[in-house]
């Protein structure tokens, strides 16, 4: 019997950051579309669409294309999300489906917790994912979130 590579991978990771800003300011960076677009959506790609309805039951859609020079230049990513739970300045829980060129590659449940600390806000991100036909997906998504949380820190400092 020959071994077959799994086509579905399940993975959970937790990332923690401390930001010197208050939890209401850190929360606003996720809740206000213009703020979130700046640190979350803008980057080394062409934004084709960014829509956000931040409320329980609300949806978010982010569609972009990688620019020339990127290893997968011309490829398109679509993230479609739905907000399940929002407690202002404390917690956000949402589901997200990521597709590459129209093919679903990951489905995730993401929980953000904003914990006031003596030095500002401790942010705790838990990502529970299913990755389909994307063996490097867990590592790449974790790397992506690390970069995004770094960008969030820069945005909060401005």
CATH of the domain at 85: 3.30.530.20
> How many domains in the chain?
1
Tell me: pLDDT of 8 over 60.
yes
Which residue range is the domain that position 39 belongs to?
A: 8-157
CA distances from 17 to 9, 43, 106, 137, 143 (A): 26, 21, 24, 22, 14
**pLDDT of res. 5:** 65
Which pLDDT tens digit goes with each residue over 123-144?
999 999 999 999 999 999 999 9
**pLDDT of res. 69:** 83
> pTM of the entire structure?
0.91
Which pLDDT tens digit goes with each residue over 74-87?
899 999 999 999 99
Is 36 domain-assigned?
yes
Alpha-carbon span 51 to 35, nearest angstrom? 13
> What's the average model confidence in pLDDT over 87-115?
97
Question: What value does the mean pLDDT of the chain take?
Answer: 94
Is 23 buried (19+), middle (13-18) or exposed (0-12) by CB count in 10 A? buried
**pLDDT of res. 73:** 82
């Amino acid at each position: 019997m020959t071994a077959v590579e799994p086509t579905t991978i399940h993975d959970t990771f937790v990332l923690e950051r401390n930001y010197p800003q208050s939890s209401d300011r850190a929360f606003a960076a996720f809740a206000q579309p213009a703020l979130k677009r700046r640190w979350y959506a803008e980057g080394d790609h062409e934004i084709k669409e960014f829509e956000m309805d931040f409320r329980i039951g609300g949806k978010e859609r982010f569609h972009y294309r990688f620019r020339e020079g990127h290893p997968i230049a011309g490829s398109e990513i679509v993230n479609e999300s739905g907000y399940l739970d929002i407690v202002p300045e404390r917690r956000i829980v949402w589901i997200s489906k990521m597709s590459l060129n129209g093919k679903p590659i990951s489905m995730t449940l993401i929980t953000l917790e904003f914990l006031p600390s003596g030095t500002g806000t401790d942010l705790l991100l838990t990502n529970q994912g299913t990755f389909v036909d994307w063996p490097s997906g867990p590592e790449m998504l974790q790397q992506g979130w690390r970069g995004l949380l770094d960008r969030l820190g820069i945005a909060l400092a401005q």
